[in-house]
Amino acid sequence: MTAEENDVKILTIDTSSNCSSVSLSDGSTLLGECILGEDRSNSGRLLESVSGLLKAAKLTPEGLDAFAVSLGPGSFTGVRVGIATVKGLALATGKPVVGFSSLAMLAMNLPFSSHPVAPMYDARKGEVYAALYRCGSLPETLRSDAVIGPKEFLSGIVKPTIFVGDGAVRYRELIVSTLGELAIFPPWHANLPRACAGAVIAHEAALSGKFTPLALLNPTYLRASEAEIAKRRRDGL
């Protein structure tokens, strides 16, 4: 594989949690990243961040090779905003898109870990979005993404495991009381989802030509939204 083939310019967006981010990468080089705090559903700020990163790198959307976006699980509104933004950019430029799991992205905050990584988002309602990955240069799924009660998720863990994400923060006491010394927690900064970690996944997918058709670029919610639940109740389902 030549150096030119590795130089894939990708704009990556993550809006799956309380802290959304945008990254711009060229191959294995991070050109810039913007973290937006809790205004994950503010599409105006998201587009401003995209514009600012491109301007700083002296690039245009047409000058990119691909776009990438986290598909969830996570915030229903946030995930929709991120996917809609990337779809719009892809349609305007004709560039391909890579979609990836937000939990896999979070796990990649800890590449080459000697222990499995359990990314956890607080899903509320006493549940978490969680999975289990072996993280080398890329995440390898050990337990698929799921929405699950934290006790049930922990019951399947029998080896030292690294817990990361706001779900791990919220349920830390439960995790420790259940698993004891098997539970490992990284420094606080690793709990922050980073679009640049998703860019690592997207870069490998782009090199392999594994792009996501726009028609299949849909949110991964794992459970019905409050609106859907309410509709089912009204319909007697």
Which pLDDT tens digit goes with each residue over 74-91? 999 999 999 999 999 999
How far is 25 from 7, CA to CA, in rounded Å?
9
pLDDT tens, residue by residue, 92-129: 999 999 999 999 999 999 999 999 999 999 999 999 99
pLDDT of residue 38: 64
| Its pTM surpasses 0.85 | yes
Residue ranges of the chain that CATH labels 3.30.420.40: 10-102+193-235, 110-190
Average model confidence (pLDDT) across the chain = 91
Pick from 118, 49, 112: which is nearest to 81 by CA?
49
Pick from 191, 161, 167: which is nearest to 179 by CA?
161
What are the DSSP calls for 112-151, one per residue? T-SS-EEEEEEEETTEEEEEEEEESSSEEEEEEEEEE-HH
Rounded mean pLDDT, 173-180 = 98
- Our CA angle for 66, 69, 72, nearest 5°, is 160
Q: Is residue 5 predicted with pLDDT exceeding 70?
A: no
Number of H helices, E strands in the chain: 9, 10
Rounded mean pLDDT, 164-183 = 98
Task: Assign domain 110-190 to its CATH architecture.
Answer: 2-Layer Sandwich (3.30)
**Taking each helix axis from N to C terminus, what angle separates 43-56 and 76-93, rounded to the nearest 10 degrees?**
50
Percent of the chain with pLDDT over 70: 89
Q: What CATH number does the domain located at 10-102+193-235 have?
A: 3.30.420.40
How far is 82 from 66, CA to CA, in rounded Å?
15
Rounded mean pLDDT, 204-209 = 96
pLDDT tens, residue by residue, 34-56: 998 765 456 778 999 999 999 99
